Amino acid sequence: MSRLTFPKYQPGDRVRVSSKPAKGHSRTPRYVQGMPGVIRKLHGSFRNPESLAYGGSGTPRQPLYLVEFEQSELWALYQGAAVDKLWIDLYQHWLEPLED
C-alpha cells in the first residue's frame, strides 16, 4: 500500500502556485507559477508523476486539484472577455495558501 498525502484544500479555497525551481521533470506549467487561483475540485490522490518520470515510486501519493485562473491575470496583454477562465489540474505540492 502506498503512502498518501492528505488533502489540504477544499473547493473555493484561494491558492497560489509555487514558483520554486523544479528538479528535473515538472507537471506544472511555468505560466501559472506564482499566480493566484481558486480550487474548484479535488480529483483524488495519485502517484506523483514528477517522481515517476525518473523511475521513482511516485509516493507519497499527491492530491490532484482542478484550479481555476483568471485569464486576464495570466496574460499581461490578454484582450478576451473579463470573465474568461483557465482550468488546470495541479498537484498539492505545487500549491500554497493565498493570504487575503
- pLDDT tens for 34-58 read 999 999 999 999 998 888 888 889 8
The owner of cell 484561494 is 14
All domains in the chain, ordered by first residue = 14-97 (2.30.30.50)
The residue ranking higher by pLDDT, 5 or 6, is 6
What confidence tier does 5 reach under pLDDT thresholds 50, 70, 90?
confident
Residue 28: pLDDT above 80? Answer: yes
**Structure confidence by residue, pLDDT tens digits, 49-99:** 888 888 889 899 999 999 999 999 999 999 999 999 999 999 999 999 997
Q: Which long-range contacts (CB under 8 A, 24 or more apart) does 58-61 make?
A: 58/2, 59/2, 59/3, 60/2, 60/3, 60/4, 60/5, 61/2, 61/3, 61/4, 61/5
Q: What is this structure's pTM?
A: 0.90
CB 92 within 8 A of CB 65: yes
**31 phi and psi, to 5 degrees?**
-70, -10
What average pLDDT does range 15-40 have in this prediction? 89
